[in-house]
Every structure is written in C-alpha cells, then in structure tokens.
Amino acid sequence: MTGLGGLNKSKHGVVMGLVQLQLPEVVTKSDLAAQTRRICELVAKARRNLGTMDLVVFPEYSLHGLSMDMNPDIMCTLDGPEVTAFRDACRDNRIWGCFSIMEANPGGNPYNSGLIIDDQGAIQLYYRKLHPWVPVEPWEPGNLGIPVCDGPNGSKLSLIICHDGMFPEMAREAAYKGAEIIIRTAGYTAPIRHAWKITNQANAFSNLAYTANVCMCGSDGTFDSMGEGMFCNFDGTVLVEGGGRADEIITCELRPDLVREARAGWGVENNIYQLYHRGYVAVQGGAQDCPYTYMQDMAAGRYQLPWKVEVTDGTSCGFAAPTRTYAGPQANPVMAPTSMPLKKVA
C-alpha cells in the first residue's frame, strides 16, 4: 500500500520522493555552483509536485557527477556554500532532504559523504561512505560508522551509499540501530541493474525495514546511469519502481508503524531477532553465541579469505598504489553517538 504515491497520506505515513537526477558533468567551480542551484530548484519542484511529501532524496554523485575528479577546487565542506544552499532549500520549502557531496579531507583523499537535512535546515544525519566502489572509486573509506537519526513523523532513518548496499552487514547494522527506513543512494550504471534490484529487496526483507533507493539517471556523454528508483516493503516486495526518465521524482508513502508492528509481532522470518536467538523453540531464549567465523576473525583483526585475491588496489583504474594506512574511526562531529534524538546544527 503506497497511498497512491503519497496522494492519500495516512496518519502514520512518511511520504518520500526519489529524484532520478540527470547525470551532470562538473569540472569547474562554476559548474559546481550551477549544479547546486539545479538541485535546489528540484527541492522546490518536489515541494510543488506533492504537498504531502516529507523527504526528497537525491542520488549519490548528484552534485559532482561520475568523473571521480578529486580537484580540491570542487570539493565541499559542511560549512561551505553548497551545503548552506541545501539547508536553505529545505528550510525555505519546508521539506526534509537527502544530499550527496564529495567532501574535502585535509588528511587524505576526499570522502564520499551524505547528509539528511530537516525541514528547518538543520543537519540531522551525516555519513561518510564506508565502502567505496573499489577499484573504481578513489574516496577515503568512511570512518563515522552507520548513523541513524529521527526523521519526519516519528520515523527512524539511515543512509547507506551505493556499494554499501551490496554488503548485508550494512543494512543489518542500520536496522540494528533502529532504522525503519534505509535510504540507499547510488550512481550505478546498467551492468549493476540486477544486483541493484535484488539487494534492495534483500536488505528490506532480512531486516524488516523499508528501503528507499535511487540512482543517477541519463548520460553525461561518457557514462550512462540507470535511474530506477525503487521502494521496497519490509517483506521484500517492490512497492513502487521508476524507470530511466531523468529528473522524474518517484514517490511512495511508507508506514514505519507497520515496521514496528512486524518487528514486535512476527515469529516466522523475524531474522534480525533470530540471528542472536537461534532455535528458541528448543532452548530458552535461543542460542546466543557467535558461530560465524568471519565475524570472530574481523573482531580479532585476523580476517583472511581462503583463496587468493588479485585486485587489491586501484592501479587497474589509473590510481597510484596507496602508501597510507587507515587511521581508524572517529567521533561524528554532527551527531550524537547513539540513535537517541540528535542535536541540531545552528
């Protein structure tokens, strides 16, 4: 049930729009400024398009395009003009927004970052992509974990970016922290179409969560992104699916209250609970151990595959082999360390 794409909004509903944004080519600071204005225009379009819309989502690379250009002149900061414009657009149009930036990193390669901004212009979620799409993407691995924030109409939101969604652990972590709607933004091109669809559905079903997913769309003269925004129900079925029309806004009403009901009341296939309560019919409370060798090895710092991997850096895509090691996680400078209500940024 989607409320006819949000036309008929229910008391407990959250109406979302996914923008299948036309893939831009951004080379200069003036290109960046023009694309910033374009995104802000589409925030206004989303508000005009559907008065019931709570949150509009823009894809990964919507501001910078797919060039992988690390030119410092077109990198962004949280207090820079691009993010300021996005905050103003959300406040002026009284709508929440989800945005993508390539973020300057004085200590290394830029971060591929995402922001959720509320309808008062405050940043409510700040995330750096944990899993850049190697070996193609040069971005620094994210170091802020997978945050969750309070969203419109009492919802709980998280954001994962593109390749992140190919790792079931990412959506599981978001749901474990309470996310009821897992947003996935991407710049994917056609070869990933099948994997895109099945992982969006699997991430929803295995975590009893909605997933709201959108790619860039159209061609920049070199690359062809596929659009294909899609909302998946918490039973894994597709609620609404877009095609390949650039700048189309795909809309749907989601019901976080039904996610909460399923998570509390489902016995069969309540997998996020049953992961740690194996066989609770046979033994009281179920088995509460960690039988997964890869989890044990990751935690102990000894993760190693039983086969040889040939591609382990970005040289095949023209990037020099790195010489730095990962510095480790850091505290999120915007968000509280838990999924409790978050402080707003002035």
Measured CA to CA in angstroms, residue 197 lies from 4, 15, 218 at distances of 22, 21, 18
The angle at the Cα of 222, spanning 25 to 316, to the nearest 5 degrees, equals 105
Measured CA to CA in angstroms, residue 301 lies from 106, 132, 169, 307, 331 at distances of 27, 21, 17, 18, 21
Answer yes or no: 103 catalytic. Answer: no
Answer yes or no: 162 catalytic. Answer: yes
Catalytic residue among 9, 40, 60, 215: 60
Catalytic residue among 9, 40, 129, 137: 129
Q: Is the peptide bond before 135 cis (omega within 30 degrees of 0)?
A: yes
Q: Where are the beta strands (DSSP E) in 206-289?
A: 210-215, 217-219, 224-226, 230-232, 238-241, 249-254
Catalytic residue among 98, 149, 162, 252: 162
The angle at the Cα of 35, spanning 31 to 41, to the nearest 5 degrees, equals 150
Q: How many CA atoms lie within 13 A of 151 on its CB side?
A: 33
Give the tokens for residue 202: 């699997």
One-letter amino acid identity for 40? C
Answer yes or no: 60 catalytic. Answer: yes
Give the tokens for residue 22: 């036309």
One-letter amino acid identity for 241? E
Instruction: Give the catalytic positions in this structure.
Output: 60, 129, 162
